[in-house]
């Protein structure tokens, strides 16, 4: 019993020391950047015909690789414009593909940035409504303006991202 109390006290002291050391570290979020990141202006929303072209390019890439995916395209406000579920694509990923596209449009950045933030310990990102910390959501930029986003889901995040980038290449050249 005596050894357990001593061991518990030592562990408590170590944990307290670590907490104090962490509290003394500067918070990287306290840095104030000169320019606002991801301040991409909004453009006219993507048309249905363009959204179908994005889906066709993404689907072609997915088929070539044998990856059945769900592919969603939203406008600059995050509203669904076009969607395709490839034969055999995971049902649970229908909503995930749309969520990735919405988050990429509404936050004007790739969803991979949220994934990186969480993996890097920036857990504050979990408090933001509407994010998804998984790659595979890519903004669609034309002439420096956001017109929508594409989201893919059904494979690994890195596979989803490859297919999204193929679709985005139709618009964001």
Check which CATH number belongs to the domain holding 127 and give it.
3.30.450.150
Q: What does the pLDDT read at residue 110?
A: 96
Residue 26 lies in a domain: no
Rounded distance between C-alpha atoms, residue 63 and residue 45, angstroms: 27
164 within some domain: yes
Range 86-115 average pLDDT: 96
Mean pLDDT for the stretch of residues 48-56: 98
What is the reported pLDDT for 118?
86
Residue 61 lies inside a defined structural domain of this protein: yes
Residue with the two structure tokens 């949220």? 114
Of 2, 172, 173, 166, the C-alpha closest to 71 is: 166
What pLDDT was estimated at residue 55?
Answer: 98
Banded model confidence at residue 92, pLDDT cuts 50, 70, 90: very high
Kindly write down the DSSP assignment for every residue of the chain, as one continuous string.
-HHHHHHHHHHHHHHHHHHHHHHHSPPGGG---SS-TT-PPB-SPPPHHHHHHHHHHHHHHHHHHT---EEEEEETTS-EEEEEE-TT--TTHHHHHHHHHHHHHHTTS-THHHHHHHHTT-GGGGGSTT---SS-EEEEEETTEEEEEEEEESS-HHHHHHHHHHHHTTT--
**CA separation for the pair 50, 81 (Å, rounded):** 10
Q: Is residue 103 part of a domain?
A: yes
pLDDT of residue 33: 74
21 pLDDT more than 70? no
Q: Does residue 10 form part of some domain? A: no
**Residue 34 within a domain:** no
Rounded percentage of the chain residues whose pLDDT exceeds 90: 67
Structural domain count of the chain:
1
Q: Does 152 reside within a domain?
A: yes
* Whole-number percent of the chain with pLDDT over 70: 84
- Write out the residue range of the structural domain in which residue 118 sits: 48-168
163 is a domain residue: yes
More confident residue, 40 or 83: 83
Indicate the pTM of the whole model: 0.81
């Amino acid at each position: 019993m005596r050894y357990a109390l001593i061991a518990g006290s030592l562990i408590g002291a170590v944990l307290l020391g670590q907490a104090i050391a962490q509290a003394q570290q500067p918070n990287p979020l306290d840095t104030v950047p000169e320019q606002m990141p991801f301040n991409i202006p909004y453009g006219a929303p993507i048309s249905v015909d363009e959204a179908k072209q994005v889906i066709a390019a993404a689907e072609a890439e997915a088929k070539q690789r044998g990856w059945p995916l769900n592919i969603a395209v939203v406008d600059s406000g995050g509203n669904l414009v076009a969607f395709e579920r490839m034969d055999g694509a995971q049902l649970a990923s229908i909503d995930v593909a749309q969520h990735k596209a919405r988050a990429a449009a509404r936050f004007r950045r790739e969803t991979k940035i949220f994934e990186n933030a969480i993996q890097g310990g920036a857990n504050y990102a979990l408090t933001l409504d509407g994010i998804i910390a998984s790659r595979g959501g890519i903004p669609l930029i034309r002439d420096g303006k956001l017109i929508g986003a594409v989201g893919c889901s059904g494979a690994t995040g890195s596979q989803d991202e490859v297919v999204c980038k193929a679709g985005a290449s139709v618009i964001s050249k």
